[in-house]
């Protein structure tokens, strides 16, 4: 354990050629004034990336401890040199052993601020087994030569509580911020998300017979620029088909007590969506068989434009229907004809508030909520 220390990265480029594990820190400060640049040796990263312990994901850097203060001062950068990874995996989803840039693990009472992430190899950041940790003033740009890239989530929470994401800007081709298994008391506020999928709850229910929860999540004051959704849920079906990270299903649990409030911007798809037929391989079980329940969700105050007439698409399970879903304060213009978006597609929803279902939802396999 490293106690009461401070490390300063000066304003220069540091070449990172191997995995790093800096855990068990206590009362430590890290000042990043320069750039940590990962090598292009993809063979090394695939052979040596370290398992995160969820969905067969891996990382190149574990950092964690009690009362850690990591400050990038608005310009300190983690450059994953990810283009070589993007070219290597092509359109393959969740390529085995392809690592994420940074995993904050086993941490509490810690702060990460002013960090820039550029071209992360896969996910940008995972927060695992941590509590009372904040991430503020963070910039993520996972753009490659062909534009934004899949599997480059801005951040993921796993087995963590009381995590705050404030003042983020994320440019990517996947989930802007994703709240995954056993995450509670998560706050996302004052953020800007561009070109990705929006805020994701899940995917969850991927492990057969395993009980998971996601509870008490607030997302507010969010600016959207060409995102697929504002916020969406994705669970696996009630039957296991294949294995993680691209297959799975049969998980149990509940996602409850959500407030998504104050979204403005431009969207490509339905701003609010639920899909309980997640798959990343194209094969899934019965799309209405999930034993994972979603309940007590409020979507509130969204405005500007969308490329679809659908405000919501709620494809819920017949085994565990969604309960107590509210939508209010919608002022969203359908860009196709400049009229108010007013379609609400529903399947297996009990207890709706503030809207009426106007049609049947599409039922089918999906990686991004929607058929």
Question: Does the structure show a pLDDT above 80 at 1?
Answer: no
Q: Which residue has the tokens 């599409």?
A: 362
Q: What is the torsion angle, in degrees rounded to the nearest 10, for the CA atoms of residue 144, residue 52, residue 237 and residue 233? A: -60
Q: Residue ranges per domain, the chain?
A: 1-193, 197-371
State mean pLDDT over 70-86: 97
Tokens standing for 127?
Answer: 């927060």
Residue 174 designated active-site: yes
pLDDT at 2: 54
Strand partners, 178: 156, 200
Q: Determine what percent of the chain is predicted with pLDDT higher than 90.
A: 89
Q: Do the domains 197-371 and 1-193 match in fold?
A: yes
pLDDT digits (tens, 9 = 90+) for 241-270: 988 888 899 999 999 999 999 999 999 999
Domain 197-371 has CATH 2.40.10.10: no
State mean pLDDT over 9-23: 97
CATH code: domain 1-193 is 2.160.20.10
Coil, helix or strand for 53?
coil
Enter the DSSP assignment of 366.
Answer: B
pLDDT digits (tens, 9 = 90+) for 126-159: 999 999 999 999 999 999 998 888 899 999 999 9
Phi/psi of residue 9, nearest 5 degrees: -90, 115
SS3 percent helix, strand, coil of the chain, rounded to 5, is: 5, 60, 35
- Please state the pTM of the whole predicted model: 0.96
Enter the DSSP assignment of 10.
Answer: -
Q: How far apart are CA 345 and CA 109, in angstroms?
A: 42
Tokens standing for 43?
Answer: 């063979």
State mean pLDDT over 40-51: 96
Residues 47, 153, 167, 174: which is the catalytic one? 174
Q: Determine what percent of the chain is predicted with pLDDT higher than 70.
A: 99
């Amino acid at each position: 354990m490293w106690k009461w220390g401070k490390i300063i990265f000066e304003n220069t480029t540091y070449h990172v050629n191997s995995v790093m594990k800096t855990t068990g820190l206590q009362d430590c400060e890290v000042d990043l004034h320069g750039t940590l640049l990962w090598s292009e040796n993809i063979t090394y990263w695939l052979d040596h990336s370290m398992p995160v312990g969820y969905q067969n994901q891996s990382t190149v850097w574990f950092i964690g401890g009690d009362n850690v203060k990591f400050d990038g001062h608005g310009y300190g950068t983690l450059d994953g040199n990810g283009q070589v990874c993007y070219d290597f995996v092509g359109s393959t989803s969740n390529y085995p052993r392809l690592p994420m840039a940074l995993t904050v693990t086993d941490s509490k009472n810690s702060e990460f601020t002013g960090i820039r992430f550029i071209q992360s190899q896969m996910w940008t950041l995972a927060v695992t087994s941590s509590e009372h940790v904040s991430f503020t003033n963070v910039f993520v740009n996972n753009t490659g030569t062909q534009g934004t890239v899949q599997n480059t989530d801005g951040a993921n929470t796993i087995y963590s509580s009381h995590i705050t994401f404030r003042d983020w800007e994320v440019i990517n081709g996947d989930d802007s911020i994703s709240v995954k298994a056993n995450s509670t008391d998560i706050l996302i506020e004052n953020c800007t998300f561009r070109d990705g999928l929006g805020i994701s709850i899940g995917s969850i229910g991927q492990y057969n017979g395993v009980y998971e929860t996601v509870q008490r999540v607030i997302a507010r004051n969010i600016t959207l620029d060409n995102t697929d959704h504002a916020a969406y849920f994705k669970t696996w079906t009630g039957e296991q088909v294949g294995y993680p990270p691209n297959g799975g299903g049969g998980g149990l649990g509940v996602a409850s007590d959500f407030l998504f409030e104050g979204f403005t911007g431009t969207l490509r798809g339905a701003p609010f969506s639920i899909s309980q037929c997640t798959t990343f391989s194209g094969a899934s079980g019965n799309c209405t068989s999930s034993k994972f329940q979603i309940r007590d969700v409020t979507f509130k105050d969204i405005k500007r434009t969308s490329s679809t007439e659908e405000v919501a698409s709620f494809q819920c399970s017949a085994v565990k229907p969604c309960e107590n879903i509210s939508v209010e304060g919608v002022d969203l213009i359908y860009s196709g004809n400049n009229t108010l978006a007013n379609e609400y597609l529903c399947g297996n929803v009990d207890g709706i508030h503030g809207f009426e279902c106007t049609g049947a939802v599409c039922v089918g396999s999906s990686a991004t909520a929607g058929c």
